[in-house]
Amino acid sequence: MEKLIITAAICGAEVTKANNPAVPYTVEEMVREAKLAYEAGAAIIHVHVRWDDGTPTQDRERFRVVMDAIRAELPDVIMIPSTGGATGMTPEERLQPTELMPEMATLDCGTCNFGDDVFENTMPTMRAFGKRMIENGIKPEYECFELGHLDTVLTMARKGEVPGAPMQFNFVLGVPGCAPATVDNLAYMVSKIPAGSTWTVTGVGRSAWTMAAAGIIMGGNVRVGFEDNVYLGKGHKAAGNGELVEKVVRLAKELGREIATPDEARAILGMKPRQ
């Protein structure tokens, strides 16, 4: 099997310090958590940003400041800024980090219930996001919360509405209102992706570790982090994102997968070498 790419989603838009005091808000806290995750073995940092009071934002300049600060400490790390933002944000708000010309960015592949909220991704919105990523040379990570999301983005790729091969998918399973986090669901979605594609699995909440183990065994990649889960185990909150990554590394070692560096991850994902 290829080496395992670990992504750390260090803060998300919804989780707060009330859930875990180590959730980062400030630029300094974001750098701290990115560095802990990287040093533990993460090749990719998935970036949401907050104002210092914890309010989620898609402000371009806030992304620039946070990503520049992370890059100064971790020059080789891959960063994937979110274009999902938080529920209720407009497409124009959500697209702001793509103006910074990142290597990669997320592209959410359909509307879905998201707990008590609706995460809206209409076809015009997705076409606009795909067009922006084609124009700016950004590799999308296609976020699929449901099987229908996968079918939608594959159809868009065939039409040239979003960047095509090689495609990178993130199967986000276990969000309340979306596809349950089961090995059967993961295996089915993986079976439908085009040859030559790569994939990551994200298990939300209590499903984080089951999905991590499945992803390792099945030859995929794994995302963990405070965005998705703040616990190392039942009742045991992680002290930081680094502890979550360390657990994935331990699982991978037991299951015979080596860990990819950022430059190895770029090669696996079919990206351009770092300049």
- Which pLDDT value is given to residue 245? 98
Tell me what pLDDT residue 112 has: 94
What are the per-10-residue average pLDDT scores of the chain (275 residues)? 96 96 98 98 98 98 98 98 94 97 97 91 97 98 97 97 97 96 98 97 97 98 98 95 98 97 98 84
Domain layout of the chain by residue ranges: 6-268
What pLDDT, on a 0 to 100 scale, did the predictor assign at position 114? 87
- DSSP H or E run through 237: strand 236-237
Q: Model's pTM, two decimal places? A: 0.97
- pLDDT at residue 272 in the model: 87
Q: Which amino acid is at 82?
A: S
CA separation for the pair 257, 259 (Å, rounded): 7
In 218-268, which ranges are E strands?
A: 221-224, 231-233, 236-237
Domain spanning 6-268: CATH superfamily: Aldolase class I (3.20.20.70)
Give pLDDT, residue 273.
Answer: 87
Which residue's structure tokens are 């300094």? 28
